[in-house]
Structure 1
């Protein structure tokens, strides 16, 4: 294997790619955390064929808050990337 060095443009592109991958990992980690949190918070009975009305409303609200949070995080990441470009 050769000991190739990348030019500045390639290094910047690789750094940007790695940053995007890390952001995706953070989002996936957050999704798992929110899924677990919403389940633990909202599902109070035994698992059956359907959720109770209260469980369903709780899950919808919890997921809505997760989506709001995810959108805010994505906008912030996009703004940060715009500042670094």
Structure 2
């Protein structure tokens, strides 16, 4: 493995770690916001809608922030 391959590998691993961290944060934030009480075997329609909207807003904001940093 040459230096360029090692750099690509490290960059890919860093991206995987960042994605894992983002998924964990998204799960925590949206779960706390949308799930009240003890969940049953299925989400209620309100919980499901809340989770979907929360996740979408989180991802949208992540993209906006990432683009903002790219411009600087």
TM-score by length of 2: 0.69
Q: How far did 1:67 drift? A: 4.3
Aligned to 2:22: 30
Aligned to 2:8: 16
Query: Any gaps of 5 or more consecutive residues in structure 2?
Result: none
Query: Larger Cα Rg: Structure 1 or Structure 2?
Result: 1
Query: Any gaps of 5 or more consecutive residues in structure 1?
Result: 1-5, 81-85
Q: How far did 1:62 drift? A: 1.6
Q: Give 4+ residue runs of structure 1 displaced > 3 Å after superposition.
A: 66-70
TM-score by length of 1: 0.60
What is the root-mean-square deviation in Å for CA atoms of aligned residues? 2.6
Q: How far did 1:22 drift? A: 0.7
